[in-house]
């Protein structure tokens, strides 16, 4: 085991699913002093008086900011403001106010950000770019328009006991939004084929029973999702078309589990791991055609060098500039 580098690192993310656990573990393996905060673990702080409520209305109405986020995340700023960091890496910096980002910039020799949402989806991301020494993004259009640094998401799974048991041919899980109607079209297509499928759609509100979609109200944790994926033959990924085109973590789960992928994201054809034997792109959900050979033929393993390129350890080296 190599000696840890004597540097102080601050890592802040917003992670409901555990995608960044591997990044934290890798940082702790490489560096002697790592501070970590997950913004998803913080809860709203009630306003103390009418003045705070009026101020909150002003920020939301005229600046598009949620004052509750300032109070929610300010304990982090108070904890770290007197520290000095060699590198600070933030995922979702848009959740901080400018005054908070200024403090993080002042106490960091190098301030980095990663955007795994598009600026089209979260416009404030555009407003905070100037705070950072480097901003990485998985969204190619944002990289071009705002002079960012491109890097896709990554294979985040460290270890998993893969099984040969297949409980469904096709699987996906997603929230109920505008993509739902294309998922229904795919389900109707498969309903007339000799293939089983399990399409889970999360909705906070009760939904009427559907003949092709399984609605769920309780959120599945990531371990549960991985179990579904492990026991499925083909993963379905309907990306947020028209909002963002960066590759979702579902794509990288398919690489780890060596599962075939059906996706709506045609940009996947431009990646070096793309293989039409493994990945089928549906560009028109009104004219779906899934060749039987795509389902029946085995997955073709991608070269080890390409797999390593998308591993979380490579992602971290790229972002930190430690190659």
Please report, for the domain that includes residue 69, its CATH number. 3.40.50.11930
Q: Kindly state the DSSP code that residue 45 receives in the 8-state scheme.
A: P
Query: How many angstroms separate the CA atoms of 319 and 323, rounded?
Result: 9
For 160, residues 6+ apart whose C-beta sits below 8 A from its C-beta are 226, 230, 256, 257
Asked whether residue 197 falls in the same domain as residue 266, the answer is yes
Q: What would the two tokens of residue 165 be?
A: 């048991």
Q: What would the two tokens of residue 291 be?
A: 């060749």
* Tens of pLDDT, residues 200-247: 999 988 898 898 999 999 888 999 999 999 999 999 999 988 889 999
Asked whether residue 210 falls in the same domain as residue 238, the answer is yes
184: phi then psi, degrees, rounded to nearest 5:
-60, -40
Domain assignment of residue 315, yes or no: no
Asked whether residue 34 falls in the same domain as residue 130, the answer is yes
Write down the residue that tokens 């108070």 correspond to. 78
pLDDT at 192 over 90: no
How many structural domains is the chain composed of? 2
pLDDT at 62 over 70: no
**pLDDT score, position 322:** 83
Which residue in 33, 5, 6, 9 sits closest to 108, CA to CA? 9
The model's confidence at residue 66, banded by pLDDT at 50, 70 and 90, is: confident
Domain assignment of residue 322, yes or no: no
Asked whether residue 183 falls in the same domain as residue 293, the answer is yes
Mean model confidence pLDDT for the chain: 93
**pLDDT score, position 318:** 97
Asked whether residue 133 falls in the same domain as residue 184, the answer is no
Q: Give the residue-averaged pLDDT of 158-170.
A: 83
Question: Domain span at residue 123?
Answer: 5-151
**pLDDT score, position 83:** 97
For 103-138, b/e burial (b = at least 16 CB within 10 A) is bbeebbebbbbbbbbbbbeeebbeebbebbebbbbb
For 297, residues 6+ apart whose C-beta sits below 8 A from its C-beta are 277
* Tens of pLDDT, residues 105-127: 999 999 999 999 999 999 999 99
* Tens of pLDDT, residues 276-302: 999 999 999 999 999 999 999 999 999
The answer for 64, left when phi > 0, alpha when psi is -120 to 50, beta otherwise, is left
Domain assignment of residue 229, yes or no: yes
Contact 227, 161 (CB under 8 A): no
The model's confidence at residue 323, banded by pLDDT at 50, 70 and 90, is: low
* Tens of pLDDT, residues 9-42: 999 999 999 999 999 999 999 999 999 999 999 9
Highest mean pLDDT (candidates 162-176, 192-206, 255-269): 255-269
- Residue 77 CA: distances (Å) to CA of 48, 55, 100, 189: 20, 20, 7, 51
pLDDT at 54 over 80: no
pLDDT at 48 over 80: no
pLDDT at 190 over 90: yes
The model's confidence at residue 1, banded by pLDDT at 50, 70 and 90, is: low
Q: Express as a percent the part of the chain with pLDDT over 90.
A: 80
Asked whether residue 129 falls in the same domain as residue 61, the answer is yes
């Amino acid at each position: 085991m190599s000696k840890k580098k004597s540097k102080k690192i601050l890592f802040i993310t917003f992670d409901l699913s555990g995608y960044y656990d591997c990044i934290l573990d890798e940082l702790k393996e490489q560096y002697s002093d790592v501070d970590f905060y997950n913004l998803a673990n913080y809860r709203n702080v009630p306003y103390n008086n009418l003045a705070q409520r009026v101020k909150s209305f002003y920020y939301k109405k005229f600046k598009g900011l949620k004052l509750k986020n300032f109070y929610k995340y300010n304990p982090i700023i108070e904890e770290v403001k007197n520290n000095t960091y060699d590198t600070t890496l933030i995922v979702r910096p848009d959740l901080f106010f400018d005054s908070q980002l200024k403090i993080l910039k002042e106490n960091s020799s190098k301030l980095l950000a990663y955007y795994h949402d598009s600026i089209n989806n979260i416009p404030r991301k555009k407003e905070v770019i100037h705070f950072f020494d480097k901003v990485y993004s998985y969204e190619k259009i944002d990289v071009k328009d705002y002079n960012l640094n491109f890097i896709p998401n990554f294979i985040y799974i460290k270890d998993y006991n893969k099984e040969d048991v297949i409980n469904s041919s096709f699987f996906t899980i997603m929230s109920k939004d505008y993509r739902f109607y294309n998922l229904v079209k795919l389900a109707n297509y498969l309903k007339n084929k000799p293939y089983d499928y399990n399409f889970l759609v999360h909705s906070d509100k009760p939904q009427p029973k559907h003949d092709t979609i399984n609605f769920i109200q309780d959120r599945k944790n990531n371990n549960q999702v991985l179990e579904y994926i492990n026991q499925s033959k083909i993963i379905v990924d309907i990306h947020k078309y028209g909002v963002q085109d960066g590759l979702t973590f579902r794509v990288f789960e398919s690489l780890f589990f060596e599962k075939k992928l059906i996706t709506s994201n045609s940009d996947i054809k431009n990646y070096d791991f793309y293989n039409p034997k493994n990945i089928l792109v549906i560009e028109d959900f009104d004219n779906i055609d899934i060749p039987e050979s795509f389902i029946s033929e085995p997955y073709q393993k991608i070269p080890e060098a390409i797999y390593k390129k998308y591993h979380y350890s490579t992602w971290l080296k790229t972002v930190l500039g430690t190659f």
